[in-house]
Chain A
Amino acid sequence: MLKNYFKIAIAVLKRRKFFTFLSLFGISFTIIILMVMTAFIDKVVNDTYPDKKRDRSLYINKMELRGKESMNGGAPSYYFLKHYVGSMKTPVKFAISSGFNSTNTYVNNRKIVINYKYTNADYWEVLDYKFSEGKPLTKQQIDNAEKVAVITEDMKKEYFGDSGTVLGKYIEADNVKYRICGVVKTLPITSYLFYADVYLPITVTKTNLMSDKGYMGNFTAIVLAANTGDVPKMKKEFDGIMAKVPIPGKEWDHVYSHADSYIQGYLRTGNETNSGMLYAITAVTLFALFVMLLPTLNLVNVNITRIMERSSEIGVRKAFGASSFTLVYQFIVENLILTFLGGLIGIVLSLVAMYVINSANLIANLNLELNFTVLFYTVITCIVFGLLSGVYPAWRMSKLNVVTALKAQ
């Protein structure tokens, strides 16, 4: 039966080339836009380089003080993390890093902008950076406040050119020379929790980190549980600590911070009343709807036109006893075949689009790619698209009166 439908669908497609082109154009174009969008979101949200242990980790990266008239939102301070988060019992590892700061360095009368980040020893055990040379910073190096650094491949290229190994060489940042002990794969800036060009030991900061007892600062913590089962326990423990954290001043009456999963933490705005998650989901849904709505309407229009062309065929089938359900089913299957064909073209074209976007280097080191998640969403989109644009014309068709349908010819 399905084979028959398939044959009919192909025959219909061949009949009116212009309409076929129209339908396929609409479908494939929509698929391209949605695929590129999914690939981008997937890359930003689901890429597990360098935090492979994401399912066991919780991220503490926002802090909010709220009073009657004022609010202050941002990243937590080193003191807050060390003093309160550091006292947690459940985590086996406790990574702290600063947000990235920029500075300049001048090599051979050339200016280089360096984004650097301070890290503790656990940072290198919680995260799995890919090293093309050397090793991560060790606990001993960090405890001894050695002037060592891990740099990225891009920074190596920019600073040293295409020379061989750079291990043991020195890089200058903020007027201090650091010995390079490792080179890692560069991250796109969208992974802003881990992004930097140069990673330095937290002990070499120029300021005394513990002297500032305020809660607001420029640091992020990742707490790692022994296994995934411990994550809820860890979250609960953190919430327990937050409930007891003293309010830092009389102008405030609430202090908020959360141990989040990666996505929650990534989208948190640092303002309890504005959920970043809600914003992101609304924006993505609206955009997808906006992109899908017009092509769907167009497809419905074209489908109705095409289906009415076949009124005699439908009339004959009805006259011989085919139920409305069978006809609707047949038409929807035909339409799904059409959408999948359009989807296939769309996939090929979106590969081209992704290639163009990647080579245009809109965001450095962010390489969009096709993977199973993206493909899965594409198939879902095709089905939704096919159903949406098929159901109404099919229903109109099934209502067709046998006599008028046959008389029309």
Chain B
Amino acid sequence: MFKHLFKMIWNKKKQNSLLIVEILLSFLVIFAVFTFGLNSYNNYAKPMGIDYQNVWAISYNNTLKTNNGDSLKLFYDNMVDNIKAMPKVIDAAHTSANIPFSTSHMSTGLTHNGDHIQDVNSFMVDENYPKTLNVKLLDGRWYNKTDVGSKQKVIVINNKLKERMFGKASAIGKLYNDDDGKKGVKIIGVLDDIKFNGDYQSLEYAIYNRIDTSSYRWLGKILVKVSPDANAAFESQLYKFMANNLKDSNIEIEHLTNKLTAYNKFTLVPLIILSIVAAFLIINVALGIFGVLWYNINKRRGEIGLRRAVGAPGSSVSAQLVSEAMILATLSLIVGAFFAVQFPLLNVFDLPASVYLLAMLLAVIFIYLLVLVCSLYPGKQASAILPAVALHEE
């Protein structure tokens, strides 16, 4: 049976080869869209890790004349204490410019047991950071007063980095070397993962450094957790407070919710455009396949009439045509899968292999459904051919 179908396809190889290429390209397009979509969905399904509602970010620039770290620390700690004392403020924390959902990134690298890990996001944060963002500490402890002035450099890492470095084992008390030449940095805590690049981006490695006195000169953000009833009137009060404290500075207050919406657009807009374009391409291809199959059946009336005349039932005729189309699809899918499987094998875009494989599976199902739907109607039409009429034409 199959041998016979292959023969039929081989006899019309020129026309079929074009169809195969078309189905192959559609498969690749669908594969790309599904990979992108699935990956975004997988990331979306993971928890954000923080409570970003009612968190505001104040941007300022240090305009104080002094370079003395201690007096800067005194000034800025005092400022944060004053902010915390305001009526609608729940908590406040100093951080470096790479707050959640900002386009600012700082990255570094580290070495542990000969394993060099690159692209580790490096944050400068203070003692209030976890409380302000309501992020869970999974293991160990957060920074406290005892870390001030200690000789041993200590660090808090995030869960993803911990799993890369230690797997299931505990990370507390372990040491690593960082890329700036510091040897024996001691891990004291593991913080839950935060999706600081928005809903749809993957988790990244992160380390949280404690702010030291020398860094106050270039820090520029304060995160403020406010109560839900904090409105624009309160915001303007906060703004005035900042402007009066830092006379020559540029002040801006942003809401993390707005920043998240803006950041998500970076992922969503390309995905939506890609999906629309792909949808149109697929409609195009579907109509094309439908048209060509339909035409083929009209051309093969004689053959079909003959089969009916020698006793083949209508269902077997339509089954033949549908399975011919499915074999064509299979041929293109084999070639397509060969290309698609290179992505997880060569690890092209650094996505988990499961995403590629699932996307491949979905794309295969999608293409089979598409071809099936496109060939059903022509197949049904073929089964309706009356042998007497068809053979009479010959």
Contacts and interface: CB of A to CB of B under 8 A. Distances in A.
Given A106-B239, A206-B248, A301-B19, A294 B29 contact: yes
Interface in A36-75: none
Contact of B22 (A106, A109, A294): A294
B287 A22 contact: yes
A104 B238 CA distance: 11
B251 A103 contact: yes
A29 B282 CA distance: 12
Contact of A298 (B22, B231, B294): B22
A297 B281 contact: no
Contacts of A291: 277, 281
Interface in B52-76: 63
A33 interface: yes
A335 to B, nearest CB: 16
Nearest to B299: A308
B317 interface: no
B370 interface: no
Contact of B18 (A103, A290, A297): A297
A117 B269 CA distance: 28
A25 B249 contact: no
A207 B22 contact: no
Contacts of B249: 206
Contacts of A109: 231-233, 236
Interface residues of A, number: 35
A323 interface: no
Given A106-B239, A301-B292, A302-B288, A294 B281 contact: yes
Contact of B250 (A29, A106, A174, A396): A174
Contacts of B331: none
Contacts of A300: 18
Contact of A206 (B22, B63, B277, B284): B63
A344 interface: no
A228 interface: no
A22 B14 CA distance: 21
A252 interface: no
Interface in B229-257: 231-233, 235-236, 239-240, 243, 247-253
Interface in A280-295: 290-291, 293-295
A301 B248 contact: no
A111 interface: yes
Given A206-B248, A206-B250, A295-B284, A111 B235 contact: yes
Contact of A295 (B15, B250, B281, B291): B281
A294 B26 contact: yes
Nearest to A27: B284
B22 A301 contact: yes
Nearest to B15: A304
A295 B269 CA distance: 24
B107 to A, nearest CB: 13
A25 B290 CA distance: 14
Nearest to B32: A290
A22 B291 contact: yes
A102 interface: yes
A106 B288 contact: no
A29 B280 contact: yes
B218 interface: no
Given A109-B233, A293-B25, A18 B252 contact: no
Contacts of B288: 22, 26, 298, 301-302
Given A33-B277, A111-B253, A301-B288, 8 more contacts: A25-B287, A110-B232, A174-B250, A294-B29, A294-B281, A295-B284, A301-B19, A301-B22
Q: Which 7 A-B pairs have the closest CB atoms?
A: A106-B236, A298-B288, A206-B248, A175-B243, A109-B233, A305-B295, A111-B232
Interface of B: 14-15, 18-19, 21-22, 25-26, 29, 63, 231-233, 235-236, 239-240, 243, 247-253, 269, 277, 280-281, 283-285, 287-288, 291-292, 294-295
Interface of A: 18-19, 22, 25-26, 29, 33, 101-104, 106, 109-111, 113, 174-175, 206-207, 290-291, 293-295, 297-298, 300-302, 304-305, 309, 362, 396
20 contacts: A22-B287, A22-B288, A25-B283, A25-B287, A104-B239, A104-B252, A104-B253, A106-B232, A106-B233, A106-B235, A106-B236, A110-B232, A111-B232, A174-B250, A206-B63, A294-B26, A297-B21, A298-B284, A304-B18, A396-B14
